[in-house]
Amino acid sequence: MTRPSTRALQILAAAVAVTFFLLPLAYLLSVSFKRKDDVLSGNFLPTDPTLANWPAAFESTSLTIFIFNSVLISVFAGLVTIAITLPASYAMIRLGIGKKALPQVTLASYVAPPIVGLIPFFFLLKTVGLLNTYPGLILIYGFLNIPVAFWLLTPFLRRVPAEIEEAAALDGAGRLRTLVSVVAPMIAPGIAATTIIVVILTFNEFLLASGLTLSDGMRTLTVGISLFQGDRLVNFGQMAAASLAGILPIYVIALLMQKHLVQGLAHGGVK
């Protein structure tokens, strides 16, 4: 039975953690209602609240298009990542393909600074005619997040009993059918958790998006927010409003998938 003092400490620790994560969002919300002079004062709460920043954020830039681009590219790139990583991880674990080199190669490719790939990606997409297009960005991000998905999915696949797959083989199922019909449903929470994580990583990426998008019609949210910074003045109020409006769709997706995310991460961390 939990002692009252222990319970109080747990509540205090939870309160501190919640405050730590919510405080930046609270301040961002406060800034979105501040006037330009009020932002520079450094006060947490606006002294003269205004709603002007919210419509101005949508009027001064193509914010709706930026948000749409980010969500579209992130979701489809996440699906591409899973479609490649799931069979590749399964082949390594069950067939031993690349068992010694694949983990090291994937890790090494991810720790390299993203700026290293910007110029090669630019000319590669330009050569194949996919520069500044949805398919080009989706493919780049889809491949870019494979190392993360690989390291997240591998523990789930290792937990699947080989006897279940052997039973499926006795029933006449091949490797691909076993993966799709037997293994994938068993590790569905892990697949969902991995997909959410790679979608969020793509949604938040800025460097490659800034170099591979050349028009307002293709810019993502992170690049679009940077447009609020002028030569001499930064529109912090509009930037805050744009940031809050932009994170809302991905927040809703994460909230709806929260159960699968928590379940998947919990299962992946327990042997």
The residue ranges of every structural domain in the chain are 58-268
229: number of Cβ within 10 Å: 12
Q: What is the pLDDT, as a whole number, of residue 269?
A: 47
pLDDT (tens digit, 9 = 90+) per residue, 149-179?
Answer: 998 898 888 888 888 888 888 888 788 888 8
**Model confidence at 227: pLDDT above 50:** yes
Q: What letter would DSSP give residue 229?
A: B
pTM: 0.86
Nearest to residue 83, comparing CAs of 227, 179, 216? 179
- What pLDDT, on the 0 to 100 scale, is given for residue 232? 64
Instruction: Please list the alpha-helical segments (H only) found in 45-112.
Output: 53-60, 63-95, 102-111
Mean pLDDT lowest among 187-196, 204-213, 256-265: 256-265
Which H or E run includes 122? helix 115-128
| 197 neighbors 152 (Cβ within 8 angstroms) | yes
Distance CA 72, CA 223 (A): 15
- Asked if 107 and 199 count as a contact pair (C-beta separation under 8 A), the reply is no
In whole angstroms, what is the distance from residue 240 CA to residue 244 CA? 6
State the chain's maximal CA–CA distance in angstroms. Answer: 73
Output the pLDDT for position 223: 93
Number of Cβ atoms within 10 Å of the Cβ of 165? 18
The matching CATH number, chosen from 1.10.3720.10, 3.40.640.10, 3.90.470.20, 1.10.230.10, for 58-268 is: 1.10.3720.10
